[in-house]
Amino acid sequence: MTDHDLVVTGGTVVTPEVGEFEADVAADGDVISAIAAPGSLAGEGDTEVDATGKYVLPGAIDPHTHHGIYRGVDEDAKSESRGNLVGGVTTIGNFFRRAGSYEEIMDDYFAQTEPNYYHDYFFSLGLLSFEHVEEIPYIVEELGITSFKWYMNYKNAAREKFGVDCDMRDDFGDAFIQKLAAVDVPTTLGYHSENVEITNALAGGNPYLESEPDEDYDYEEMVEEFPGYAETQSMVSGAALAKQHDYDDSFYAVHISSGRTANELKELRKAGYDLWGETTLHYLAATADEAGAEFKVNPPVRYEEDQEVLWDRLADGTIQTIGCDHIANVSENKFGETFTDSLLGFPGSSVMLPFILTEGVGEGRISLPRAVEVTSTNSAKAWNVYPKKGTIQVGSDADLAVVDLDETETVTAEFLQGGSDYSPYEGMELAGWPTHTVVRGQIAYENGDVVGDKGYGTHIDRPI
């Protein structure tokens, strides 16, 4: 008779808390039940994975996705979580925004997502009105959602874009932060840093309304219209407001794209600000002088000098997490006749971990424990799901990625098995792909095949 439901034997376990060590890992039900000397648990599992020569990491967490933007959230839940297993992602955070009362509409969205996710997820709700701000206590207490987003890019555009009675100016943000600070459980505020007075003027109109110029432009012109300093100024302003309400330790600057912003974040920390900073995969992978519509996103990818600073700030701890700003779309809809006509956003979650293991660890930019920290552990901490997620400890969820750092695969949409028929990372040769992805004790991906069950994933209700 076996002692455990699942045993992973012979691998090198990696956690930022301990480092690298050889061990067997066992799971019973959803959770890790034992971590033991290498080889000591062999033969004791109903199911066993031989991880000899491989690394056993906590499942990757992408805290920054947008499921339900261009398609139904049910479709995205199914296809994107399936594809994520290929890249070792076992949890995502979905930035989700709707104009209606969340108290009235979220039960329907839970009904759409719960039967369709292959891995676990949590909602982070974009608040668009003062009515949404007043709903925060209900959202936290009844919906189990403790993370939110303030979209500075929709300032002065929200009325027309979403049909709400709010301009999303600083009075809105002030009320937003004060309401969050008054909640008696940990919460997190994701903040899109953008000074729209500057960017709208440079763009000759508001790109979120119908006033965008008709003429075509290219990627480098887009970077000029969304300069890094406008991102930096907004990030500093938002952080300062959060600090006035003693909320800076829960303030999370999303998708930092500019080297200036990353350096300013470092200076704010020196000045006593306790902030979270995230960069996203594409800012580490692409530059504006080579990018086309496949990388069209806001903020745009920038230049090599920005990229170098982002890697440096990732290595020194200033930037603590990596997300992907993942959006599922297909090439027929993504790519217009011109760059101007092409849609914002693209998929990326399933590429995150192999890219960081290849370009971060493989190129000597960061250590393997640091790679785990920025792709899993810190995201779990920032979004208040640690130590349930983001670590390999007894009692934590058995979310694991068994990766082979020597096995290289070429990125293709077919290989990724998600809902998009293209990838902006198409053709990249990356190592560190999982041979096995485990979600709460269940093998969900094995040697190229998705073997998990749709609907096994569930919403992570917080506080935990």
Q: And the tokens for 265?
A: 């974040």
In a domain, residue 52? The reply is: yes
Same domain, 401 and 344: no
Q: What is the CATH number of the domain that holds 29?
A: 2.30.40.10
Instruction: Say whether both 83 and 33 belong to one domain.
Output: no
Residue 249 lies in a domain: yes
The span from the CA of 334 to the CA of 216, in Å, is: 16
Is residue 399 within 8 A of residue 380, CB to CB? The reply is no
Residues 17 and 128 grouped into a single domain = no
Structural domain that includes position 356 = 58-382
Grouping H, G, I as helix, E, B as strand and the rest as coil, residue 201 is helix
Shared domain for 445 and 310, answered yes or no, is no
In a domain, 100, yes or no: yes
Tokens of 270: 């020196």
Residue 462 falls within a domain, yes or no?
Answer: no
Same domain, yes or no, for 246 and 265? yes
Task: For the sheet with 120-126, list strands across it.
Answer: 60-65, 89-97, 120-126, 147-151, 188-192, 251-253, 276-280, 321-323
CB 252 within 8 A of CB 382: yes
Q: Distance between CA 33 and CA 445 in Å, rounded? A: 21
Residue 126, beta-bridge partner list: 97, 149
Q: Are residues 341 and 443 in the same domain?
A: no
372: left (phi over 0), alpha (psi -120 to 50) or beta: alpha
Residues 108 and 251 in one domain: yes
The stretches of 17-169 forming alpha helices (DSSP H) are: 73-86, 102-113, 130-134, 136-143, 158-162
User: Does residue 162 sit in the same domain as residue 226?
Assistant: yes
Q: How many domains is the chain built from? A: 2
Residues 434 and 307 in one domain: no
Angle (CA) 221 285 263, round 5°? 75
Q: For all residues of the chain together, what is the average pLDDT? A: 96
CB 172 within 8 A of CB 184: no
Report the pLDDT value the prediction gives residue 204, as an integer from 0 to 100: 76
Q: How many CB atoms lie within 10 A of CB 417?
A: 18
203 φ/ψ angles, rounded to the nearest 5 degrees: -80, -10
Give the separation between CA 321 and CA 93, rounded to whole angstroms.
13
Q: Answer whether residue 259 is part of any domain.
A: yes
CATH number at residue 125: 3.20.20.140
**Structural tokens at position 281:** 């995969």
21 and 98 housed in the same domain? no
Nearest in space to 61 (alpha carbons), one of 388, 414, 445, 405: 388
Give the number of other Cβ atoms within 10 Å of residue 158's Cβ.
21
| Residue 405 maps to a domain | yes
What integer pLDDT is reported at residue 463 of this predicted model? 97
In this structure, the answer to whether residues 242 and 253 fall within a common structural domain is: yes
User: Which helix (DSSP H) or strand (DSSP E) does residue 57 occupy?
Assistant: strand 55-58
Pair (300, 230) in one structural domain: yes
Instruction: Compute the distance between CA of residue 231 and CA of residue 280 in angstroms, rounded to an integer.
Output: 14
All residue ranges of the chain with pLDDT < 70 are: 1, 205-215
- pTM, whole model, 2 decimals? 0.97
Please report whether residue 390 resides in a domain.
no
464 assigned to some structural domain: no
Q: What is the pLDDT of residue 451?
A: 98
- pLDDT given at position 203: 81
